[in-house]
Structure 1
Amino acid sequence: MAGLPTHTPNAQTEQPSPIQMTSLVGLDGYCLSEQWVPVRVTLENTGTDLDGQVEVQVNNGLNQWNFAQAVSLPSVSRKEVTLYAYLYGSPNNIQISFVSDEGVVATTTQNIACLQTNSQLVGLWTSTPSIYNILTTLIISGARPSTAVLEIADFPTHPEGLDMLQMIIISDVDTGTLSDLQRQALSSWVANGGRLLVAGGAGWQKTVSGVADLLPVVLSGSVTVNELGGLLEMAPQADPLTGDTVLATGAPREGAEILAVQEDIPLIVRQKFGFGEVFFFAFDPALAPLRNWTGLEVMYQTLFVAQRDVPTWANGYVEWTEASSAVSNVPGLGLPSIFLICGFLGLYTLALGPLNYLVLRKLKRRELAWITIPVLVVLFSCGAFVLGLFVRGTRSVINNLAIVQVWPEVSQARVHGLVGVFSPNRNLYNVELNGNFVAHPLVNFGLGGSGEWGILHNEEKTVVPDLRIDAGGIEGVVVEGDTPAPAFVSDVHLEFGASGLTIDGEVQNNSELTLHDVILLAPGQAQELGEFGPGKALAISLVLSNTGIASPNGNTTGYPYYGYYADTTFQDVFGTTNVNSSFDQDLRRRYSMLQAAMGYGGTRGSGLYLLGWTDSSPLNVTLDGKGFKNEATSIYIIALNPTIESTASVLTLPPAMFAWDRLENSTNLDFSPYNSYLYEGEYNIHYKLSQPIPYQTVKALTLHLTDYGNTGQHNLNIALWDFTRNEWTPIDCTMWGDFEVPDPARFVGTGGTIQLQIINPNQISIDLERAD
C-alpha cells in the first residue's frame, strides 16, 4: 500500500480558510476514460506564507490514487498549477484539495462524466469556435466528434494532457503566446498521431507565429483573390466561391502534399509529421465567402474521414495483465532449477531417513532419533531459507522496461515505460523517477494499483512515496512522457521498378545506442539486420513481394479475427519460439511488454520501421538511497519515411501501397476485406495511400473481388463512393474476379482515397477471400 497522507477536514467550525481554490477538470469539461486528464487549479492566498501541496484524488470504488504537486504560496499571492491525473475505470467525481502540514486547508469535489474510450474529440482554439460546429455532424476518423473550446491555458506542458484529442484546429489566435514547453507538448502530440489544422487568412501572422515549424509550408506573405474555384475540386457540387478572400502565401516544404490550389497558390497543404499530420488552410473558414459555403461539410468529410494510420503500440499500454507479466518477469528471479529442488529434497529425505538411521545404529543410540529428527528438520529449514535467499537475492531489483518511439524528423521521442520494484523483504520504498514524466500505478488485480497510492510530481522528478512491498513481492508503475530523441538519420527510398516495389537506402546511427536483434518491419514482411552500433550505417534493401494485400490501418482493432491472426509483428520479432513455455525470462518480459502495447487485436499498420533492443532504458529510476539492482531493457522503434522514386510516367500502385479501415456506417465492424464471412448487411471500407504519392490523373482502377477460386456470380451489391457527386454509385460488377472500373477518376478522392461498399442482401453468409 502506498499513498500520500490522507487528511480529514476538521468537522468543527473554525476561522475562514485563507486559501480560495477554483479548479477546471479536463478540456472544456471533457475527459476520456483510460486517459490522462489535466486538472487546472487556481489558488489565492489572503493570509501568511504557506507551503503545501495540491492533491487530486481519483477513486473508482476499488482504488484510490492521489496525484499531487508541491506549491509554495507567499502572503497575498495567486498561483495556477496544472496536475495530470489518470482516470482508470469510470470515476464519477474527483476530489481536489490543498494540504499543508497542519491538514486540509481547502477542498472541493467535482463531478465528471467522461466520454467513452473510442470517442472522438476535436479541440478548437479559435476566435470563432461556432463556425466549426459543422464538424459534429460529420463522420471523422470513424465517429461523430464532440468539440472542446480551448484557450491558451488549456495547452499542457505534457503531451499526455492532449491525448484525449484526435484533432486540434487553430485559427485567428496568437500562438506566439505559447510557452516552449507547450509548443513541445503540441509537437509531440502531433508526432504520436494527432491531427493539427492551422488556418491562415487575414490573421495568418499571429496564428502561425508559435507553430511555424510544424506547418507544411514556409509562409512569406498574403494576397487577395476574388474567387476560390480551386476548392470546388473538394466539393464539385457546391456553390461557386466568389468574393474577396485573403490567402496566406508561401512555399510548400519538401514532402508536403498540395490538396487544393488556386492560380499556383496552395490552398490546402498536408504533410505527415511522425505518425500525425498537419494541415494548412491558406484561407480562414470563419470569414466570407467561406463562412456559409455549401461545400464546407463535404470538404471536411473528404479531408478527415479516415483515421490516421497509427500502429497500435503508439497508444501506450492497453493489456494490463500482460504489463503485469512483463514487470513480474525479472531476470534471475525465476523459480529455482528443477534439478536444484529435486537435489535438495533428495538430500533431505536421505538425511532424515537412511543416513540418520545408519548413523544412530552404528553409535548404538537409536533412541536419540526423537532428538536428531527435529534437529535435522530445523537445519534443513534453515538451509531452505538460505537457499531461497541465494536464489532470490538480498537486494531490491528494479525491472525497467520501455518502448521508445523515434521519428528521425522529430526532436523528442515518446516513451511508454513499465517499472517493477521487487523487494526481497517487507519494506517501504520511495520510488523516484527522474525527468519530466507522468506516472500511475500498474492496474491489475494482485499486482499494483490496488488500495491507496500517492504520486508526487514536479518538473524534475516524480516520486511514489511510502510504497509498501511484502517480502518477495513486486509492485508496478506505468510511466509516460518524452525524452530527447536519439539521433538516427534515414535516407530510404521506395522505388517502382520492373521487378515490383523495392525499399532501398540506409539508416545512420548517430546516437550512443547499440541496438541488438534489429529487424526491418515492412507491410506484410520483415528482414533481420543484426546489430546496429553507434556511428554505423545500416544498408537496407528489401523487395516487397507481398504486394497483393493492403495493410490494416494501425487503429483498426476489435475482435482479433483479422488483426491477431494476420498481423505478423510478433512472428517477425520473436520468430517461431513458444515464448510462454520458454525459461528465458528476458525473452518473456520483452514479449509481454510488446503484447501489453499491441493488445490482442492490434496491428503495426502500413508503416516502415526499424526495430531493435537495448539493455538500457531512458527511465532513470532510483529508490531514494536504498541499494538496488537495475534490470533494464528497451525496444526502440524508428519510423522510416521513404521518399517515392520512379522514372516511369505512369505508376501502377498495388494494394500494398494502401491501408484499409472500416467505416462507421457498416452493419458489422468485425470484418476485414480479406478472409471474411459476410453476413447479411452493409460493409463499407476506406482505402488510403500509406505514403503520399503526387499524381495528376487516374487512368485505371481495378477492383479485385475473389472467393477462393470461384469464378461465378457472387450475389453481392457493389458500389464505390463518387467524390464528384458525394454519393455511393453502384458498379456493374456481378462476377468474382478482377473488374476494370469505368471512369475511374471520380472514385479516387483527395490523397488517393477510395471507398468501397459491399452489401450482402442474402440471409446466408458469403465467403470473401479478397476485396481491394
Structure 2
Amino acid sequence: MRFRQISLVWAAVLALTSSAVLPAYGMAGPNETETGSFYTEQYQGEGSSPVSMEVSYGYEENAKSGRYVPVSVTLNSQSEEPFSGTLRITAMESDYDIYEYDYPLSLAPSGSLEESLDIPVGRADVLYVKLLDSQNRELLRKRLKMNVSLDTAELFVGILSDNPQELDYMEGVGVNYSSVRIKTFEMDTEKMPDNAIGLDLLDVLVITDYDTRRLSGDQVSSVWEWVKGGGTLLIGTGARADDTLFAFRSSLLEEPYAPPAQKAVDMGVEYAVNGPGDSFMNLICTNVTLSGGTEVLSNDEFPVLTSVVKGKGSVGVAAYDFIDIAEFCRVQRSYVDKLFTAFLGENRLNNLSSYLYSGNSSQYWSVQNILNTGDTEKLPDLPIYAVVILGYLAVAGPGLYLFLKRREQRTFYRMAVVGVSLTFTAVVYLMGAKTRFKDTFFNYATILDTTEDYVDEYTSINIRTPYNKAYTISLDPSYDLLPITRSNTYEGTPVPKFTGNEDYKVRVFYGEDETKISVQNASAFDPKYYSLRKRTPNKDKKGLDGDITLFEGKVYGTVTNEYPFPVERVGILMYGKLVAIDELEPGETMKLEGIPVVNYPVNSPFLVSARVTGSYQYPKADIEDPAYMLALSRTNILSFYLDRFSSFYNQEARVVAFGRDKTENRFLAGGEYETYGMSMFTSTIDVKTTKGGKVSRSALMKPPTAVNGQYYADSNSIYGIDPVSLEYSLGNDLEVEELFFEEPSEEFLNSEGLYFTNIFKGSIHFYNHDTGNYDVMSPDKKVYHGSELTPYLSPGNTLTVKYVCDSTSENNWYVTLPMLSVTGRDK
C-alpha cells in the first residue's frame, strides 16, 4: 500500500499520473410522513398494492445497537397474479454509512409468506423495511422507530418458563448500583431460534420451571454457541431439576445429584427483620455439582448458585427454582440486584454500561489490528528504487548534459531529458508490477474452533479496492455476515437525519447461491470490515484432542493432532499456565509430562500469544523479514482470540495451533481476487485436577472479593497506590493441605523485546481470625501448608490477603498480583 503511493508520486514527477473516479448513483424514494407510532406504511404508485406487509422487530419492540436485531415480516398477496420482488431493509451503521440488505422473494396468487430475518444494526434507532417489485420500484415502506434506551444501559433477559409471569419481579430492577437496568422478555419453544445469531440481542437467558426436552437439537446447539460467544445462561432447578437440566446436563454436571429436598436457604442477613433467622426461606433445592464450577452464592452447607465459564460466556445453576422466590423478591427487589451482580460480576456489567456509548467500536479496533498485517511480497525493494532514482538524477542531470556538450549537441538536451524520463518511468512501472494491486483485494483472519460435533468458523475480512470506483464481490451464502464499524460519536460528529431516501454505501444481496456485497462511492484503499461466522458438523472428527491433567503446576497426559495435515506452534493454555509444542504431525500423539510449564500474566494476551507463536524471539520489528511477519500475524490473531473468545479461568484447556502452509480462504463464492491471511485452529480439552486422591486447582476460578481497595478481576491486578485486601474462596468442599503463590515466569518480566509487566513487590498480610489482626508474611515464602493456614482460614474456607505495594516502586497504579492455587482433599 505504502509502495503504491510512492510509485504514484514518482510517476507524477515524471509527468505520468492517472486517476479513475466513478460517480455516485442511486434511486430516489418516496416522501416520508411521520406518525406517533413505531412505524408508518406508505405506498408509491397507482392503484392499490398487490401485496400487504406487516412488520415487527426485536423482542417486544426493543433493540440494542451493534447487535443482530430480529425482524419479522408477514406478506399477503392481494392479487390473482404471482408476485416476485425484493424485501429491502435499510439501516444506518455506527459510522453513519447507509447499508441495505436485500432478500429476493416470490408469492403465489393469494398466497402468504412469513420471513424472520436477523439484521445487523449499527445504530439501533431507525430501520426502513421496503417492498420492491421485479423492476426495483418501491411499493411499500415501513419505518421502524426502535425503542432503544439512551440514558441507562439495559440488561436484556430472556425468560423460558411455563409460568414466565411469575418472574415479573426481575423487570426494571437496577443492577450494579443501578448502572444497568433489567429488561425481561418472555420466550417459548416456538420463539427459541435454532441459530446463535437469533439470540444475539439477549444478554442473559433464564430457564426455570421448564422442560428442556421440548427444545430441538439445533435450539440447544444454538444456546451453547451463543454462550461460547459471550452469552450468559442461568438455570433454576428446585423440584423440576430433571426437566430444566436435561438438555444441558451432559456438558455441565460432574456427577449425579441427589433428589430435590426442602432446605433452609439463607437469603442474606441484610433481609433479616427481627433477627438472623428471618433471612432464611424453606425452599425445594437440588444440590448440583458443576464440572469445574465455582460457588457464587452459598449457605454454610451447600451452594445456592454455582457458575462455570464456557468460552467467553458462563452458565449458572441455582439450587432453587426462581419462581419459588418470587414472593420474597417482590418485597425485597434488591435480592435480584445481589443475584445478578454476584453472577455476572462487576466487570461484565461495567462493559454493558460502556457499550451504551461506544457500541461495537471495541470490536472494530480489535479486528483492525489483526487485519493490518499485509503480504510482505507486496513490499518494494527500497535499495533498488534508491539506485534507480539516483541513476535517473545522475543521467538526466549532469550526465546527459556533459555527454551532449562533448558532442556539441546541447540543443537536443530537452528532447533527451524527455526520452530518459519516459525510459525511467517505464522501468519504475515494471519494477512495481508485483507490488501493484490491480483489483479488489482481501485481508482475512480465520479461527476454526473444533469440538467433537461441530466446527465453528469465525472469519474477519477487510475488503479494499485500489481505485476510486464501485465494486461487487460474492461470498459463500452459508456465512452469517456482520459489518464491523466504529462509532462516529468519538469525533463528536452529529448524527445525520435518516429518512430512508439516502443513497446507500453498502448493499448486501442474499441470493440462494451467493451473498453479494456491493459498495459504491468507495475511496481507494478505504477499509471495509466484516465478521463472518458459520457452524458445520464435524463429520471427520478433526481437531486437537487429548487427555490432560494439571496438578500442582505440572501437566500430565497427551495431546493428539487429528487433522490430516501437520500443525506447528501448538500452545496449551489453562489457568494462567502455558505448554508450548513446536509441531505435531498428522495423527501424532505427544506426551506432556516433562514439557516445561510457563506461568504467564493473565493481563497480557499479546505477551502470551508472542510466547506461543515465537514472535517474542525477535528483539525488534523487521517488516522485511518474512519469518518475523508470519510470527507477528500469528501473534495478532491469537491475541484477538484470547481477548474475544476465551477466558483465562475456565475448566478447559485451550489448544491453539497453526498450519505450516497458508490455508486458502473459504468465504469467497467466486471471482479471482488477491487474498492474504491465515487460519488458526483451536480446540478445548477438559482438564483433570485430581491425582492420588488429591485435588489441585486455581484459587482464582472464582474472582476474589475486594474487601477494600481496587481490584481488576479480569487481569488479576490492583490499583496499588493504597493497600488492597482480597478475600479468596478456596472452596468449602476442600480440606486445604497446601497453598501456592505463583509468579509469572522470569521471561515475562523484563526480557528484551517484551513489554514491561509491573509485578507486585511489597508485603503480604494474612487476616488472622483468632486475633482480628493482619499478620505479615515472609516476602520470599511461596508455599503454605495446611497447618500454617489454620488461623487464617474462615469456616467457609476463605482467606483474606492484604497487599501493600513497595512505596519505592514505580507505576503502582496497575500492579499484577501472584496467582494462587490450592491443593487438598475433598471433605
Q: CA RMSD in A?
A: 5.4
Residue 458 of structure 1: CA displacement?
6.2
1:159 aligns with 2:196: yes
CA–CA separation in structure 2 for the residues paired with 1:594 and 1:332: 20
Corresponding residue for 1:559?
A: none
Matched, 1:22 2:22: no
How far the C-alpha of 1:633 sits from its partner, in A, is 0.3
Q: Give the unaligned 5+ runs of structure 2.
A: 1-21, 33-43, 270-275, 352-358, 489-502, 743-758, 780-787, 806-810, 821-827
Equivalent positions of 1:646-661 (< 5 A) are 646-647=691-692, 655=699, 658=701, 660=703
Match of 1:342, SS state, is helix
Structure-2 residue corresponding to 1:8? 29
Q: What is the alpha-carbon distance in structure 2 between the residues aligned to residue 708 and residue 217 of structure 1?
A: 39
AA paired with 1:438? L
Residue 81 of structure 1 pairs with residue 115 of structure 2: yes
Q: Secondary structure at the match of 1:376?
A: helix
1:322-721 aligned within 5 A:
323-324=367-368, 326-332=370-376, 334-357=378-401, 359-361=403-405, 364-392=408-436, 394=438, 397-406=441-450, 408=451, 411-421=454-464, 423=466, 428-441=471-484, 443=486, 452-457=505-510, 461-466=514-519, 475-484=528-537, 486-495=542-551, 500-541=552-593, 563-564=603-604, 568-573=608-613, 574-577=615-618, 581-583=622-624, 584=626, 585-594=629-638, 604-605=648-649, 608-614=653-659, 615-616=661-662, 620-622=666-668, 624=670, 626-647=671-692, 655=699, 658=701, 660=703, 674=717, 676-679=719-722, 687=728, 695-696=733-734, 708-709=761-762
Deviates more, 1:505-514 or 1:145-154: 145-154
Instruction: Give, as a single letter, the amino acid of the residue that structure 1 aligns with 2:456.
Output: A
Work out which of the residue numbers 83, 104, 111 in structure 2 matches 1:50.
83
> Any residues of structure 2 matched to 1:81-480 within 5 Å, and which?
81-88=115-122, 90-101=123-134, 102-112=136-146, 113-114=148-149, 120-135=155-170, 137=173, 144=180, 146-152=182-188, 154-173=191-210, 175=212, 178=215, 180-200=217-237, 216=253, 227-229=262-264, 231=265, 273-280=310-317, 284-287=321-324, 300=339, 304=343, 306=345, 318=362, 320-321=364-365, 323-324=367-368, 326-332=370-376, 334-357=378-401, 359-361=403-405, 364-392=408-436, 394=438, 397-406=441-450, 408=451, 411-421=454-464, 423=466, 428-441=471-484, 443=486, 452-457=505-510, 461-466=514-519, 475-480=528-533
Report the 3-state secondary structure (helix = DSSP H, G, I; strand = E; otherwise coil) of the residue aligned with 1:75.
coil
Shift of 1:189: 1.2
Q: Deviations over 1:128-157 (max 9, x none)?
A: 334445556585799755133132454334
Looking at structure 2, the residues matched to 134 and 741 of structure 1 have their Cα atoms a distance apart, in angstroms, of 43
* 1:509 to partner: Cα distance: 1.8
* CA distance 1:730–1:286, change in 2 (3 Å): farther
| Cα distance in structure 2, aligned partners of 1:239 and 1:438 | 50
TM-superposed CA distance for 1:8, in Å, is 0.9
SS of residue in 2 equivalent to 1:482: strand
The residue type paired with residue 618 of structure 2 is T
Inter-partner Cα distance in structure 1 for 2:236 and 2:366: 43
Q: CA deviation at 1:597?
A: 5.8
Relative to structure 2, which stretch is displaced further, 32-41 or 294-303?
294-303
Q: Is the 8 A contact 1:309 1:605 kept in 2?
A: no
- Report the alpha carbon displacement of residue 518 of structure 1 after superposing the two structures with TM: 1.9
| Structure 1 position 695, deviation (Å) | 2.9
What is the CA-CA distance between 1:187 and the residue it aligns to? 2.0
- Measured in 1, the distance between the counterparts of 2:292 and 2:100 equals 46
TM-score (normalizing by structure 1): 0.74
SS state at 1:99 partner: strand
Q: Distance between the aligned counterparts of 1:609 and 1:86, measured in 2?
A: 30
CA contact (8 A) 2:605 2:639 kept: no
Higher strand share: 1
Q: Measure the CA separation in 1 of the matches of 2:205 and 2:453.
A: 19
Deviation track 1:309-339 (CA, whole Å, cap 9, x = no partner) reads 99x9xx9993534533543433145431111
The superposition leaves residues 225-244 of structure 1 with CA deviations (integer Å, 9 ceiling, x where unpaired) of: 5x334x5599995666558x
- Give the count of matched residue pairs: 712
SS of residue matched to 1:83: strand
Contact between 2:544 and 2:682, CA under 8 Å: does it hold in 1? no
2: distance between equivalents of 1:266 and 1:39? 41
Distance in 1 of aligned mates of 2:52 and 2:402: 83
Worse overlay, 666-675 or 569-578 = 666-675
- The question of 1:71 aligning with 2:116 is answered no
Change (3 A) 1:664 1:266: closer
Alpha-carbon distance change, 611 to 424 in structure 1, aligned in 2, over 3 angstroms = farther
- Please list every run of 5 or more consecutive structure 1 residues that lacks an aligned counterpart in the other structure: 553-562, 723-728
Any conservation in 2 of the 1:431–1:463 contact (CA below 8 Å)?
yes
SS, match of residue 636 in structure 1: strand
Q: 1:167 to 1:541 in 2, by over 3 A?
A: farther
Conservation of the 8 A alpha-carbon contact between 1:393 and 1:424: no
Identity of aligned residues (%): 14
- Equivalent position amino acid for 1:46 in 2: Q
Query: How far apart, in 2, do the equivalents of 1:134 and 1:289 lie?
Result: 7
Distance 1:301 1:473 in 2: 43
**CA, structure 1 residues 291+523, in 2 after alignment: closer, same or farther (shift >3 Å)?**
closer
